[in-house]
Amino acid sequence: MQSSDGAMYAPQPMPQPVVNPGEFVIGATHLDHGHIFGMCQGLVGAGATLKWVYDPDPSRVAAFRQAFPGVRVARSEEEVLDDPEVKLVAGAAVTNERAPLGLRVIEAGKDYFSDKAPLTTLDQLEAVREATARTGLKYAVYYSERIHVEAAVLAGQLVEQGAIGKVLQFIGLGPHRLNAPSRPDWFFRKELYGGILCDIGSHNFEQMLYYTGSSDATITASTIANYAHPEWPELDDFGDAHIVTDNGATGYCRVDWFTPDGLNTWGDGRTFLLGTDGYIELRKYVNIATNDGPDHVFLVDGNGEHHIRAHGQVGYPFFGELILDCLHRTENAMTQAHALKAAELSVVAQRRAVDLTRR
Amino acid sequence: MQSSDGAMYAPQPMPQPVVNPGEFVIGATHLDHGHIFGMCQGLVGAGATLKWVYDPDPSRVAAFRQAFPGVRVARSEEEVLDDPEVKLVAGAAVTNERAPLGLRVIEAGKDYFSDKAPLTTLDQLEAVREATARTGLKYAVYYSERIHVEAAVLAGQLVEQGAIGKVLQFIGLGPHRLNAPSRPDWFFRKELYGGILCDIGSHNFEQMLYYTGSSDATITASTIANYAHPEWPELDDFGDAHIVTDNGATGYCRVDWFTPDGLNTWGDGRTFLLGTDGYIELRKYVNIATNDGPDHVFLVDGNGEHHIRAHGQVGYPFFGELILDCLHRTENAMTQAHALKAAELSVVAQRRAVDLTRR
């Protein structure tokens, strides 16, 4: 396929549902973060049957039922975990409760799909590694800024096709709008949300490993700060980190809560992939000052400067792959080692970070 | 002033010549790097009278005379240094010869204007600091990627006007096209060019200090590599560095020689300035896939997303300020401490860098 501006690339076919109704039954428990909607939409779009929802807060359950009208309301988490028809449980609990929930799901004999960050401490990481190794069950993670963004999906396909040669470096900018009044109390308590590099940083560590094709990395520098929000002293409003991967690439990310009100979306997320034969820039959610929607892929290679619109072009193959992985006990969507290595880097970067403002 | 898209800003008036012909006489010696043209054009545009040129290579002198037809050809460096009319000598020698040249200029009682990087070792740095402190003479540096780029000049004015609040972070991407056949032998010999973080990295260290308003910084991580050019084992084709400044900001830069052939200019230089109240992105030399020339300033603030074209709008005030600094012994163009601190960071980042490919 040739884009209108001459870039040669071959997007994969748009993903289709991989199972028929009733063939892959899931439940959703703990709706503390709105990501649960995207997680369930992705799975349902790939064919999953959403049978149950549980949350202690009735207003959250009501909002969830509006999005998924056929779902049954469970009276307890146990009612979901005890249903032998349920193959996978999706959860978006408070961040430091995600691992305990996941361990309960796994002990109930089901696969688990966690919102990111999937855990907040190295003790949790060790317990999750032990449980997944012992049972063979999955602790999958919704690293949405790659798997649920078409620009990022297309970038992965371009890299795989060799569009920029060997990937030498990843840079990710992950600014987010704070919108403090919409945030729950736990969002501002570090033990609960895990710190900014653990929380929104985790998207970037996952992408560093993915795009550079590496399986491990060393955190070479990381910082956090609370520059402008003294009313929430435990909020990190800034963080950044530099890594060196086990295959000799580098990665850098900056995350922050400083999206200004004038931006027409929640954040100007960017990705830069430097390769031996070209580079890719993603303007994921906005191409600033153009009013031209999300999912912009810029590819500069030996032939020219190409602007490719990924919106509506590639979809989100992760979800169908995850369903099939659960059914066939494969690891095509994402390996367990990869999902947890990204979590490990996130926690280690956070723990070792130099605090620039609260020393 | 309001831009067409609603951004409020007030560019400074376009700079005009600050002296009349003959009031500020300069010479140019050692034309090893083509930057000497920009250095002299900048000064001549600000009113300087270019009296002399010297280089041992007649072909370089001939090319220089084509650009500056009125210039006289000196038979030796001494002829320039011995002329009492000459106030300042501009030089773009091989990088590790820039400090020895500058010290000779200073010992001759004249101000010096060096191409960047201005020096390659800490011994040279110490000697330059000693000489400038002892004599009061200037060792000015052509950090062209800020002072000779209108997008970068306008960004400085916007920051000064508080357009994005307090600057928290600088990110600079400095890809360059290698174009190896056009490069002299010294370009590939590390002792001579100083390494990539010292060489093209120096632009970025200068900008980190400038835009964050800091006077010192710590190198927290840096890497270099030769990923794809085994035929020149001493070439660093990649480098990056992370810093923490003395006022609690951070800076990150990546420099490389991987500009692909398809880019319509030598490099897609970018700057990202994150502030408490907004952010600025510079697309200095190209706005990829738009065919819309250089000098793009994007400002996102509380009011909206603004695309400001700096080309032809703000000029290059550095050069006139430097001339007046020399005449009045002031430091408005750039302080000596700042110019040399940027050089120090460049050399230290280079020396401490983890070599990713030649360990």
Of A244, A263, A281, Cβ closest to residue B223: A244
Candidates B5, B167, B224, B261: best to mutate against A (most CBs of A within 10 A) is B261
Q: Are A111 and A102 in contact (CB under 8 A)?
A: no
Of B252, B302, B307, Cβ closest to residue A262: B302
DSSP letters for B199-238: TTHHHHHHHHHHHHT-S-EEEEEEEEE-SS-TTSTT---E
Quote the mean pLDDT of chain B. Answer: 96
Q: How far is A276 from chain B (nearest CA, A)?
A: 6
Predicted local confidence at residue A224, as pLDDT: 98
B306 touching chain A per CB within 8 A: yes
A193 touching chain B per CB within 8 A: no
Chain-centre distance for alpha carbon B270: 15
Mean pLDDT of A29-54: 98
Q: How would you classify the pairing of strands A139-142 and A111-115?
A: parallel
> Could you tell me what percent of chain A has a pLDDT over 70?
97
Residue B283, pLDDT above cutoff 50 = yes
Tens of pLDDT, residue by residue over B184-196, are 999 999 999 999 9
Tens of pLDDT, residue by residue over A190-209, are 999 999 999 999 999 999 99
Residue B15, pLDDT above cutoff 80 = yes
Residue B5, pLDDT above cutoff 80 = no
What's B161's domain CATH number? 3.30.360.10
Tens of pLDDT, residue by residue over A144-179, are 999 999 999 999 999 999 999 999 999 999 999 999
Q: Which residue of B has its CA nearest to A251?
A: B240
At residue A69's C-alpha, the angle toward residues A64 and A75, to 5°, is 60
DSSP letters for A223-288: EEE-SS-TTSTT---EEEEEEEETTS-EEEEEEES---TTSSSS---EEEEEETTEEEEEE-S--T
What is the signed CA dihedral for A169, B150, B340, B225, rounded to 10 degrees?
Answer: 20
Predicted local confidence at residue A13, as pLDDT: 82
In this structure, what DSSP letter does residue A186 have? G
**Within-domain flag for B199:** yes
Residue A1, pLDDT above cutoff 50 = no
Exposure b/e, B107-132, CB count within 10 A at least 16 = b? ebebbbbbbbbbbbbeebbebbbebb
Contact A173 B301 (CB under 8 A): no
Tens of pLDDT, residue by residue over A85-115, are 999 999 999 999 999 999 999 999 999 999 9
Provide the token pair at A335: 């390996």
Residue B2 binned pLDDT confidence (cut-offs 50, 70, 90): very low
Predicted local confidence at residue A2, as pLDDT: 41
Residue B11, pLDDT above cutoff 80 = no
Residue B7, pLDDT above cutoff 70 = no
Q: Helices then strands (H, E): number in chain B?
A: 11, 15
Q: Are B224 and A226 in contact (CB under 8 A)?
A: no
A304 touching chain B per CB within 8 A: yes
**Within-domain flag for B214:** yes
**Cα(A75)–Cα(A56) distance, integer angstroms:** 9
Spatial neighbors of A48 by CB under 8 A, at least 6 apart, are A19, A24, A25, A26, A88, A319, A323
Q: Which residues of A touch B264 (CB under 8 A)?
A: 305
Predicted local confidence at residue B12, as pLDDT: 80
User: What total number of domains does chain A contain?
Assistant: 1
Place of tokens 């009735």: A58
Residue B285 CB-density burial (10 A; 0-12 exposed, 13-18 middle, 19+ buried) = buried
**Within-domain flag for B326:** no
Query: What does residue B143 show for φ and ψ, rounded to 5 degrees?
Result: -80, 80
Strand partners, A224: A239, A355
Of A168, A262, A274, Cβ closest to residue B300: A262
**Cα(B334)–Cα(B315) distance, integer angstroms:** 16
**Within-domain flag for A171:** yes
Provide the token pair at A179: 């919108």
Predicted local confidence at residue A12, as pLDDT: 80
Contact B227 A261 (CB under 8 A): no
- Sign of the torsion angle spanned by Cα atoms A264, A281, A218, B194: negative
Chain-centre distance for alpha carbon B188: 20
Query: What does residue A229 show for φ and ψ, rounded to 5 degrees?
Result: -135, 60
Residue ranges making up the domain that contains A216: 146-317+347-355
Residue B6 binned pLDDT confidence (cut-offs 50, 70, 90): low
**Within-domain flag for A273:** yes
Residue B257, pLDDT above cutoff 70 = yes
Q: How far is B209 from chain A (nearest CA, A)?
A: 16
Predicted local confidence at residue A331, as pLDDT: 98
**Cα(B195)–Cα(A339) distance, integer angstroms:** 37
**Cα(B167)–Cα(B246) distance, integer angstroms:** 13
Predicted local confidence at residue B359, as pLDDT: 74
Place of tokens 């990022």: A152
Q: Which residues of A touch B227 (CB under 8 A)?
A: 166, 168, 248, 276
Tens of pLDDT, residue by residue over B133-178, are 999 999 999 999 999 999 999 999 999 999 999 999 999 999 999 9
Query: In chain B, which ranges are continuous DSSP H helix?
Result: 35-45, 58-67, 77-81, 98-107, 122-135, 144-147, 150-160, 190-193, 201-212, 317-328, 336-352
**Within-domain flag for A208:** yes
In this structure, what DSSP letter does residue A199 have? T
Predicted local confidence at residue A172, as pLDDT: 98
Predicted local confidence at residue A7, as pLDDT: 59
- Sign of the torsion angle spanned by Cα atoms B149, B150, B155, B161: positive
Cis peptide before A117 (omega within 30 of 0): yes
Quote the mean pLDDT of chain A. Answer: 96
Place of tokens 């009492």: B84
**Within-domain flag for B35:** no
Q: Is residue B245 classed as helix, strand or coil in its secondary structure?
A: strand
**Within-domain flag for A222:** yes
Residue B313 CB-density burial (10 A; 0-12 exposed, 13-18 middle, 19+ buried) = middle
Minimum mean pLDDT range among A300-314, B7-21, B290-304: B7-21
Q: Is residue B265 classed as helix, strand or coil in its secondary structure?
A: coil
Q: How far is B300 from chain A (nearest CA, A)?
A: 6
Element (H, E) at B266: none
**Which residue type sits at A115?**
D
